[in-house]
């Protein structure tokens, strides 16, 4: 019973995230990892991510940035492939430390601009920067299950309209999760036993995605992006703590 409660809560949280509530999905793997091996927990949740992804793409299908996706998706392929071949050689703790630095760097720049008297201008999509951040998002999503900081460091300065941001984010991470699926199967993390469990939990993930979409649409745009930045800050703190703990520094 305790396992099903933990699994259902993890599924609902990842569904909320796919519905547009920023970064709460990061809690799903640690929560389920209290019941099972973290690698197997990630493998169990991946089919749930994909289920919620497909529904979220349907929910946010009307608005997205074509230019950003054209830049980011090929870059993510490079990152995921790099992660697949380098996962045995790359320290996930070092990557988490890097991700926390990226998150804090973006937030520091954002706060500096917000509290200065200068107008904050939206930055256009840029191929070079998009290739760099998109590749890094694919790599870190594969190795550390945390592609949000690089992605947001690239997309948030563009100041996209809320629904365009949600649609672009949903499509990007849906494609990244699909890219990761074959490697997870080869690594034995996605199994028939895990899939049979995921089938029972999938409705909870869909309910979470539906709830998240309702909440994110209701939130005023300025408040929504403040929540995105707050969530990025919390995620950066979590990644920093996990990295320092893994490196034996705390």
Look up residue 27 and give its DSSP letter: G
Domain ranges of the chain: 2-246
Q: Is pLDDT larger for residue 111 or for residue 119?
A: 111
Q: Which is more confident, 163 or 116?
A: 163
What pLDDT was estimated at residue 39?
A: 61
Confidence of residue 26 (pLDDT cuts 50, 70, 90): low
**Does pLDDT of 144 surpass 70?**
yes
**Mean pLDDT along residues 21-37:** 67
User: What is the chain's mean pLDDT, rounded?
Assistant: 85
Residue by residue, DSSP assigns 170-216 as HHHHHHHHHHHHHHHHHTT-S-HHHHHHHHHHHHHHHHHHHHHHHHH
Q: What is the mean pLDDT of residues 127-138?
A: 95
Which positions ≥6 away from 213 have C-beta within 8 Å? Answer: 19, 20, 56, 59, 60
Is-contact 175 73, C-beta < 8 A? yes
Distance between CA atoms of residues 219 and 188, nearest Å:
40
Helices (H), 60-160: 66-86, 92-115, 127-144, 148-155
Tens digit of pLDDT for each residue in 163-194? 999 999 999 999 999 998 888 788 777 777 77
> Rounded to two decimals, what is the model's pTM?
0.85
Interval 204-215 mean pLDDT:
91
- For residue 75 the two structure tokens come to 């870059």
pLDDT value at position 109? 82
Mean pLDDT, residues 94-104: 86
Mean per-residue pLDDT, 78-103? 84
Res. 42: pLDDT tops 70: no
pLDDT band for 131, please (50, 70, 90 cuts): very high
Rounded-to-integer distance, Cα 28 and Cα 7, Å: 8
- Region 128-142: mean pLDDT is 93
For 240, what's the count of Cα atoms within 13 Å in the CB-facing half-sphere? 12
């Amino acid at each position: 019973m305790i396992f099903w409660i933990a699994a259902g809560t993890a599924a609902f949280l990842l569904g909320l995230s796919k519905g547009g509530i920023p970064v709460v999905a990061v809690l799903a793997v640690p929560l389920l990892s209290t019941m099972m091996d973290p690698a197997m927990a990630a493998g169990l949740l991946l089919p749930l991510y994909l289920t919620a992804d497909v529904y979220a793409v349907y929910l946010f299908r009307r608005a997205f940035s074509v230019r950003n996706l054209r830049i980011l998706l090929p870059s993510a392929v490079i990152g995921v492939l790099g992660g697949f071949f380098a996962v045995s050689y790359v320290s996930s703790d070092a990557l988490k430390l890097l991700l926390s630095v990226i998150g804090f760097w973006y937030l520091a720049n954002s706060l500096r601009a917000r509290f200065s008297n200068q107008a904050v201008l939206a930055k256009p999509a840029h191929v070079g920067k998009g290739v760099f951040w998109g590749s890094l998002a694919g790599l870190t999503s594969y190795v550390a299950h945390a592609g949000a900081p690089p992605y947001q460091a690239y997309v948030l300065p563009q100041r996209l309209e809320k629904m365009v941001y949600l649609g672009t984010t949903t499509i990007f991470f849906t494609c990244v999760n699909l890219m990761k699926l074959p490697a997870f199967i080869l690594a034995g993390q996605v199994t028939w036993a895990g899939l049979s469990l995921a089938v029972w939990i999938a409705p909870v993930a869909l309910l979470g995605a539906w709830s998240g979409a309702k909440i994110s649409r209701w939130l005023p745009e300025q408040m929504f992006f403040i929540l995105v930045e707050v969530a990025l800050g919390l995620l950066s703190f979590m990644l920093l703590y996990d990295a320092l703990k893994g490196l034996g520094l705390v």
